Structure 1
């Protein structure tokens, strides 16, 4: 039996200001990956310029993930109290401050700014799927697709241009990281008109919606573990794929291009999959297909077949794009209102990014202990099996709070 869908208030349909809201969503999405992915290619330059250790340099990329894990559960509570649009505006303001501070002085400002922008991005990460469910109740799939493509596209661009901007323009690593503050500031300006619409919306959505204890819901935990495992796989692959390929005889430059190709393979999938998922009675078939992409790509790497390495990377990228898109869709598809969607997003992303932060460390440890990549890749296949199990469970057509109905 198909799950009951929430009634749609006519006030949630797009108005004459719909294009401005759409532009605001796109600009916010573009700010959620670029400030993070721009760091990786510059880590060596930052380390040498500041004279810091590899451990401290690695902390620059780990701190935002820890911030995501810690603050994600608080974002829905802030939105419930102050309204979603004002909280997003505050998050964008923090993001501008964090980016500027990160690029200002020394290692202290670098780390503090990194924490601040991590907190800002975590709030946006959690609230955007809920905002889309609230503002576009009839077009969730399309809008999640637009949101995902915007986020991943800007992230891929940031990875590619960071080093050229630092070296060719004379701006150095500080300028290469600091330029993303302009994009955040533009998003902040575009979002201002949304502030005046907050009060009426909060009243209409909070008066007739019951609270759900997601932490006691089996379905919420299934969605959360799916989100967490896909995050772990993505960040493990992004962190270690170049080293895996170099251990198999590939040059550093070539390994970097393979990683870029993997990220580009994500883009078309993150637009198509949400649309398909939104039109299906359940998402079990897409969950199985996602796991097959991961199994094929990771298994290919494990086989050591160098001639098909581009295919393995593309398969992993497509699997990652499918998994991320499905995770974002589940926040809306498995809840009956925008507030529950925000709470589920906060719960899932808190645990998800905690696993994402631990994943690269665990796999680095397994590599050191076994002196190779076979065991870590086998463990990644086991994690993919768990992803399939929780994906199939969360892909069934149910709503949280109605699992037994």
Structure 2
């Protein structure tokens, strides 16, 4: 709430402080949620994973779609429009306060540590799958609109297609966890979702412009499914909530650092070649890596890490 609210002030130093506060809070929340699902909703993990990944996608779509109208209709400034998102964040805080107070009755995670996680092959497959699919997602979030502009669409149409693509993600974010957790393993669905996302992205780049809306929707379906599948694997591959929290930190911490290079490389390729077409090679490479890691992470196994008491050797 504080980090988002500080964006009201048109000060560059405060903007950096606000971004650090908001980004840090989001990162911590993202890491803790899979462990919370594993601990408190083990018998409803599919539904809860689907709901919170859907909320992630829906929140991104809402922010992308409504910030500009908020600026024009309510605040009259870009800083005010950004700060306005502190209001729903405050609502969430008020909802969570009773949950936090009630958690005093639950078993604490203090006094435990997780060993063997960073040396486990399966944990690294989950981490790299998270990172590579996130790299594709970041490329879409950062470059889909410019790609569409380069293909001849005006700014309004390109923005609308991006919004439609992101909204399509919401559907599969909710549906994929329930479906994936009912399967014997998740190897097939991981590879299928990667193929869908990458093929659709190639369609956006090279297919006739009359079909681009179809490819944008299909890409959203594949990409949203990948986000949900990656989050689901954290829960599925963890034997308990302690390991889930640590695996979540590993997968998202390392994975998102890796993912940050995706849009950077797209920008560099665009600068070197003068076109987004050559980025297709990068998208195929990311997809191939994600498919390989997703196939490995999809095996119905638990990571080799285990939870021990802090005083155990």
TM-score norm. by structure 2 comes to: 0.93
The aligned counterpart of 2:308 is: none
Give the corresponding residue for 2:283: 380
Decide whether aligned partners of structure 1 residues 113 and 210 sit closer, same or farther in structure 2, where only a CA change above 3 A counts.
closer
Question: Which residue of 148, 156, 160 corresponds with 2:53?
Answer: 148
Mapped partners of 2:43, 2:81: distance in 1: 39
Between the two proteins, the alignment pairs up a number of residues equal to: 306
Q: 1:3-60 CA distances to partner (integer Å, 9 max, x unpaired)?
A: xxxxxxxxxxxxxxxxxxxxxxxxxxxxxxxxxxxxxxxxxxxxxxxxxxxxxxxxxx
SS of the aligned residue for 2:278 comes to: helix
- Give the whole-Å Cα distance in 2 for the aligned partners of 1:156 and 1:272: 17
- CA distance in structure 2 between the aligned counterparts of 1:136 and 1:270, rounded to whole angstroms: 18
**Structure 1, 337-346 or 185-194: larger mean CA deviation:** 185-194
1:177 to 82, 87, 105: 82
Q: What RMSD in Å do the two structures reach over aligned CA positions?
A: 1.8
After superposition, where does 1:334-373 map in structure 2 within 5 Å? 334-373=237-276
Asked if structure 2 preserves the Cα contact closer than 8 Å seen for 1:102 and 1:111, the reply is no
Contact 2:190–2:295, Cα closer than 8 Å, also in 1: yes
Asked whether the equivalents of residues 298 and 381 of structure 1 are also in contact (C-alpha less than 8 Å), the reply is no
Counterparts in 2 of 1:165 and 1:221: CA distance versus 1, 3 Å: same
Please give the secondary structure, in 2, of the residue aligned with 1:183: helix
Provide runs of 4+ in structure 1 moved above 6 Å: none
**What does the per-residue CA deviation read over 1:251-294, in whole Å, with 9 as the maximum and x for residues that have no partner?**
11111111111101111111110001111120112112102212
Shift, 1:373, TM fit: 1.4
Contact 1:148–1:270 (8 Å) recurs in 2: yes
Give TM-score scaled by structure 1 length: 0.72
- Give the whole-Å Cα distance in 1 for the aligned partners of 2:202 and 2:67: 32
Distance 1:302 1:107 in 2: 36
Aligned to 1:271: 174
Structure 2 alignment gaps of length 5 or more? 306-313
SS at match of 1:362: helix
Matches within 5 A, 1:78-227: 96-203=1-108, 211-227=114-130
Query: Distance between the aligned counterparts of 2:52 and 2:203, measured in 1?
Result: 31
